[in-house]
Amino acid sequence: MLTAKICSSCKEEKLLSLFSKNKSTKDGFKYSCKVCISKYYLKNKDLEKQKRKLNYQQNKSQYIERAKIWKANNPEKVAADRKQWNNKNKSLKAYYTSTRRAIQTQATPSWANLKKIKQIFKDARTKSLETGIKYTVDHIIPLHGKLVSGLHVENNLRLLPYKENCKKGNKYVPT
Span 67-99, pLDDT tens digits: 999 999 999 999 999 999 999 999 999 999 998
Is residue 27 within 8 Å of 6, Cβ to Cβ?
Answer: no
Residue 141 located in a structural domain: yes
> How far is the C-alpha of 129 from the C-alpha of 133, rounded, in Å?
7
Residue 131 located in a structural domain: yes
Query: So what's the pLDDT on residue 175?
Result: 66
Which residues share a beta bridge with 12?
none
Residue 103 located in a structural domain: no
Which of 52, 67, 86 is at the close of a domain?
Answer: 52
Is residue 78 within 8 Å of 71, Cβ to Cβ?
Answer: yes
Cα–Cα–Cα angle for 87, 136, 68, rounded to 5 degrees: 65
Name which of 21, 38, 41, 39 is nearest 30 in CA terms.
21
> How far is the C-alpha of 101 from the C-alpha of 64, rounded, in Å?
30
The answer to whether residue 18 scores a pLDDT higher than 90 is: yes
> How far is the C-alpha of 29 from the C-alpha of 66, rounded, in Å?
26
DSSP E strands in the chain: the ranges are 4-6, 13-15, 135-139, 157-161
Residue 17 located in a structural domain: yes
Query: So what's the pLDDT on residue 172?
Result: 82
Which CA distances in Å does 72 have to 60, 75, 76?
18, 6, 10
Residue 25 located in a structural domain: yes
Residue 120 located in a structural domain: yes
Which CA distances in Å does 24 have to 18, 21, 27, 37, 110?
18, 9, 9, 17, 67
DSSP E strands in 7-122: the ranges are 13-15
Query: So what's the pLDDT on residue 171?
Result: 84
Which amino acid would we find at residue 43?
Answer: K
Greater confidence (2 vs 86) lies with 86
What residues make up the domain containing 32? 4-52
Greater confidence (28 vs 145) lies with 28
Which of 13, 32, 52 is at the close of a domain?
Answer: 52
Quote the number of domains for the chain: 2
What average pLDDT does the chain have? 93
Q: Buried b / exposed e across 54-90, counting CB within 10 Å, b at 16+?
A: eeeeeeeeeeeeeeeeeeeeeeeeeeeeeeeeeeeee
The answer to whether residue 59 scores a pLDDT higher than 90 is: yes
Q: How confident is the model at residue 33 (pLDDT cuts 50, 70, 90)?
A: very high
The stretch 45-60 carries a mean pLDDT of 96
Residue 97 located in a structural domain: no
Residue 79 located in a structural domain: no
